A and B are shown apart, each in its own frame.
Chain A
Amino acid sequence: SYELTQPPSVSVSPGQTARITCSGDALPKQYAYWYQQKPGQAPVLVIYKDSERPSGIPERFSGSSSGTTVTLTISGVQAEDEADYYCQSADSSGTFVVFGGGTKLTVL
Chain B
Amino acid sequence: QVQLQESGPGLVKPSQTLSLTCTVSGGSISSGSYYWSWIRQPAGKGLEWIGRIYTSGSTNYNPSLKSRVTISVDTSKNQFSLKLSSVTAADTAVYYCARTQHSGSYYSDYWGQGTLVTVSS
Contact = CB atoms under 8 A, between A and B. Distances in A.
Interface of A: 1, 30-31, 33, 35, 41-45, 48-49, 54, 86, 88-90, 94-102
B111 interface: yes
B32 interface: no
B47 A54 contact: no
Given A1-B64, A42-B111, A49 B103 contact: yes
Main secondary structure of the interface of B (DSSP, over half): strand
A102 B46 contact: yes
B49 A96 contact: yes
Given A45-B107, A96-B62, 6 more contacts: A42-B111, A42-B112, A43-B96, A86-B46, A99-B39, A100-B46
Contacts of A1: 63-64
Contact of A98 (B49, B103, B109): B49
B49 A42 contact: no
Interface string B11-40: 000000000000000000000000001010
Interface in B85-121: 96, 103-109, 111-114
